[in-house]
Structures are given as C-alpha cells and as structure tokens.
Amino acid sequence: MSDFRILAIPGSLRRASFNRGLLVAAEQILSGRAEVELASLADIPLYNDDVRALGYPEPVEQLRSQIERADALLLGATEYNFGPSGVLKNAIDWASRPPDPPLQGKPFGLVGASTGGFGTVRSQLALRQILLIVQALGYPGSLHVSGAAKLFDEEGRLTDEATRQSLSDFLDGFLGFLERVGSG
C-alpha cells in the first residue's frame, strides 16, 4: 500500500534527460512504498503576470493541482550555467502565486545529475533558497550525480548500480522525513 503521493518534476524537457531518468528510477525504487507521478513542464508557458491576472493557463492550472494533491515533491535539479534550468524556475514562479500557492508548506526533496563534476550542487543550492522564500519545506539530504553521461543509457535510463543504490539511500531518508513532517 502506498503511503505517500510524490509528484516528481524533472527540470529538463530533453527526451533522454538524466534528471528525468533519476526520477523514473526513483519511481521504480519506491514502488509499493509511495505513489510517484511524473510531471512534465513541456506545456508550461513563460510566466507573465498579466496572463496570471486574467486566469491561470490550463497547463499551469493542471500543474498547480498536481502539486496541491501531492504529499511531497521530488525535483530533478537540471543545472544550466551554475543555476536551475529556466523551465524549472519558471514552473516554481507559476506555483508560487495566489490564491493558495500550492508550494506553500509543501515538503520537497532534491536530486540531480549533470555531465560536469559537481552533480547539480549549485542548482540545488539555488533551488533551496528559492523554495525557502515560497515557504516550501526542504528535506536536508541531497543526491548529486556527476559524470552522468556514463551512468545513463541513450534513452536516459539509469544503468549504474552504485548510483541506483545512492538514490535508494536518499529515498529512504526522504520517506523518513515525510513520515516526520506529514504532507506539510
């Protein structure tokens, strides 16, 4: 029986995204312990406060209700130029606005994979700061997967067993955190 509903959001639109691959692996590892829904940010328009004032576009409304329904978020922290990808920051901006900002009080965990040597550490630090200001509730643990090109196949599937074990350890800690804080 699944105890938690986790919305997994990859910070990349790339078909074979390593960060999406990490979240797919997380879904497999958590099978039976949590229900993982994989979100896509492909249809989310660029944030425009004039548009928001007229009413949230349908894909944004859908993302906001997915976040609202979830007990927690798991973000794949794609790193571009030492920061979070624009698509992920953009989605956070949409989900941070009233009424009833769905990110407020929402527990979240961060994982990330990059081709460089630091495994999205800078993107994750920036995301923590951004999510702090929207009053989301961060799990302090983290997973940084560096040198990702060697650890995933050409479809973006995680193939490296040591990384899968690290992800599994991370997820054990994350579920423990969710048990302590509930659904925010």
Please say which residue, 126 or 134, places its beta carbon nearer to ligand FMN: 126
Instruction: Verify cis geometry, omega within 30 degrees of 0, for the bond prior to 57.
Output: no
The answer to whether residue 86 forms part of the interface with ligand FMN (CB under 6 A) is no
Q: What is the chain's length? A: 184
Closest approach of ligand FMN to the CB of residue 41, in Å: 11
In 47-137, alpha helices (H): 49-54, 58-69, 86-95, 121-133
CA distance 34 to 28: 10
CB of 110 to ligand FMN, least distance (A): 13
Contact string (CB under 6 A) for ligand FMN, positions 37-76, x = contact: ----------------------------------------
- 154 forms part of the interface with ligand FMN (CB under 6 A): no
Verify binding: residue 147, ligand FMN, rule CB under 6 A: no
Which one, 56 or 118, has the nearer CB to ligand FMN? 118
Whether 73 contacts 108, CB under 8 Å:
yes
Best CA proximity match to 156, nearest among 9, 12, 17 = 17
Distance CA 73, CA 8 (A): 6
Q: Which positions touch ligand FMN (CB under 6 A)?
A: 12, 14, 17-19, 78-82, 114-116, 118
